[in-house]
Amino acid sequence: MQTSTRDRIVLAAARLVQRQGYVGTGIKQIAKEADATLGSVYHFFPGGKEAVAVAAIRHGDAEFAAILREALDSEEDPAAAVDACARLLATALKASGWRDGCPVTATALETLGTDSEIQQACADALRGWQDLVAGRLLRAGLSRTDARELAGTVISTLEGAEVTAQVTQSEAPLLQAGRQLARLVATYH
Amino acid sequence: MQTSTRDRIVLAAARLVQRQGYVGTGIKQIAKEADATLGSVYHFFPGGKEAVAVAAIRHGDAEFAAILREALDSEEDPAAAVDACARLLATALKASGWRDGCPVTATALETLGTDSEIQQACADALRGWQDLVAGRLLRAGLSRTDARELAGTVISTLEGAEVTAQVTQSEAPLLQAGRQLARLVATYH
DNA sequence: GACGGACTAGAACGAACGCTCTATCCAGAA
DNA sequence: TTCTGGATAGAGCGTTCGTTCTAGTCCGTC
């Protein structure tokens, strides 16, 4: 067995939660998808479903951050870099059959009123991604305030465009958003 | 009884689905919240939960469209108008205790793979809102292609910023997005 | 070879799910 | 008054939910 049972559970949970949300994903379904048993799930995650979800969100967070980092560093110009993010998301989303969107949005919305640890994990993810973009803009010469404000909008826009792309089953929203964000970033030079 | 039972069901369903998503909201909870009984719900909506959700989404769609229209017409300058939308959403969201976000996002994400009528209703809503913004930009003198492309990004950005605002429990993401969108719109003059 | 802890396995529980069903109510037509 | 059909009412169906629990397997250590 190459991957540990725990890892397989987290991986399966991350994928399922990303596609179906937190409420729509059952513990038993996670166990089945991970080729594990219910006993194993509760052995590794005594906190139950919520603990599994937190681990899944954290995994999705890290995975998405890596993608974002790579795209941001793929271009010299910061505007082109932001556009590259959007294009990368578009191709990845299309390749997954419009299924694998943002790994936290659905879960974040479903658990809004609960002030559970899941909420915190989602907020941490968003914050982390914003910091990545802000850092990239800072390196490009923007002021600290400009970088922070712009980075927040970049992440929000990508987030929203991804949802729109999934619902309409088209990469156009993401590609549009990329172009417009590039145009916006260019105004700060 | 001032409002009909059917209307109360749709209203309650819209509010609950907006806050908890489709999967997270039960038929019995809708009936209870609407001061109706299970029998009444199935009497007015023989299609069951899905039919109720479609009506709820359509209601939320119309409601949000009215708000959007009002905000778009509140300012002379198109950039200021877009910013007004963001500010209006921010105050409304804060007033609801960060609960009442976009009425379709959560449900749209949860029902992604199902190609049900719900999906269609969500797609229709997004499309309609984009058309509203595009129409406003057209009236401001933008070209048809510019208006359409920009409108898509405006809706996506507002969508994403609303989610971010809910998760972080802060109006900052929406206010930031409003400012940046206004800046972007201004580049088209 | 015996022991012990990490891990696997799945039956079983109470609660909640969407939905079906029968029974009842009541305003207006006959 | 009697009849009729839309509307109301909720018990109960089968299923699935998250969780708990007991039993069993595996394997390094003494």
Could you tell me the fold of the domain covering A57-188? Tetracycline Repressor; domain 2 (1.10.357)
What's the DSSP call for residue A171? S
Residues of A whose CB is below 8 A from B122: 167
Going by pLDDT thresholds of 50, 70 and 90, the confidence category of residue A2 is low
For residue A139, give every residue at least 6 positions away whose Cβ sits within 8 Å of its Cβ, in sequence order, or none. Answer: none
Task: Map residue B120 onto helix, strand or coil.
Answer: helix
pTM here? 0.94
Q: Is B140 an 8 Å CB contact of chain A? A: no
pLDDT in tens, B69-104: 999 999 999 999 999 999 999 999 999 999 999 999
Strand D proximal to A24 Cβ, under 7 A = no
Chain-chain contact of A161 with B156 (C-beta, under 8 angstroms):
yes
Model pLDDT, residue B2: 61
* Contact A163/B at CB under 8 A: yes
Provide the residue ranges of all domains of chain B, joining segments of one domain with +: 57-188
How long is the CA B29 to C1' C17 vector, in angstroms? 11
Instruction: Give the span between the Cα atoms of B165 and B188, in whole angstroms.
Output: 27
Residues, chain A: 189
Q: Is A19 on the interface with B (CB under 8 A)?
A: yes
Sort A143 into a burial class: Cβ within 10 Å, 0-12 / 13-18 / 19+: exposed
Contact B153 A163 (CB under 8 A): no
Q: Give yes or no for A146 touching B (CB within 8 A).
A: no
Nearest Cα neighbor of B52 from B6, B86, B92 is B6
Q: For A100-156, what is each residue's pLDDT tens digit?
A: 999 999 999 999 988 899 999 999 999 999 999 999 999 999 999 999 999 999 999
Cβ-proximal residues to A115 (8 Å cutoff; 6+ apart), any chain: none
Q: What is the pLDDT of residues B98-145, one digit of tens each?
A: 999 999 999 999 999 888 999 999 999 999 999 999 999 999 999 999
Q: Which of B103, B7, B81, B59 is nearest to A109 (CA)?
A: B103
Rounded CA-CA distance B44/B42 in Å is: 6
What pLDDT was estimated at residue A189? 76
At position A108, the amino acid (one-letter code) is A
Chain B residues 50 to 109 with C-beta below 7 Å from nucleic strand D: none
A56 in Cβ contact with B144 (< 8 Å): no
